Amino acid sequence: TTIRVWSVADGTHLRTLEGHTAWVLIVVVAENGTVYSGSDDTTIRIWSGHDGQYLHSLRGHTKGILSLTLGAADTVFSGSEDETIRVWRGSTGEHLRSSQHADSCTDALLIAHDGRLYTASEDAPEIPVW
């Protein structure tokens, strides 16, 4: 339910980010330091990378968040056990669109340099590309 931030240089504990009500399953950090965390509590929480302040949550999934990746133009892609991939505006929390993937939880997401979104799932026989 917590995220601990450590210094790679000397191993000191810098801060703890608290707020999720269930296990944190995925954490990604933007180039500007913003921290995005996905949890089994069905939310994505966004934190300031500078001081650890909680900014806001992205809500809409009905099961745990398994994967996150960051796209261009302040977009956040999330994959969930609810068999959906959702796209959000990170700064505002606005839900932009969803895609349903029946019988397939999205375990991993990656946006390649060419702008394609790759998804992976343990129960899908192939890797869909958006």
List strand residue ranges (DSSP E) for the chain, in order.
Answer: 2-6, 13-18, 24-29, 35-39, 43-47, 54-59, 65-70, 75-80, 84-89, 95-100, 108-111, 117-120
pLDDT in the model for residue 127: 45
The whole-number average pLDDT for the span 97-107 is 76
87, 73 Cβ separation under 8 angstroms: no
Tokens of 129: 């590309």
Contact (CB, 8 A) for 10 and 19: no
Q: What integer pLDDT is reported at residue 124 of this predicted model?
A: 54
Encode pLDDT of 11-60 as tens digits: 999 999 999 999 999 999 999 999 999 999 999 999 999 999 999 999 99
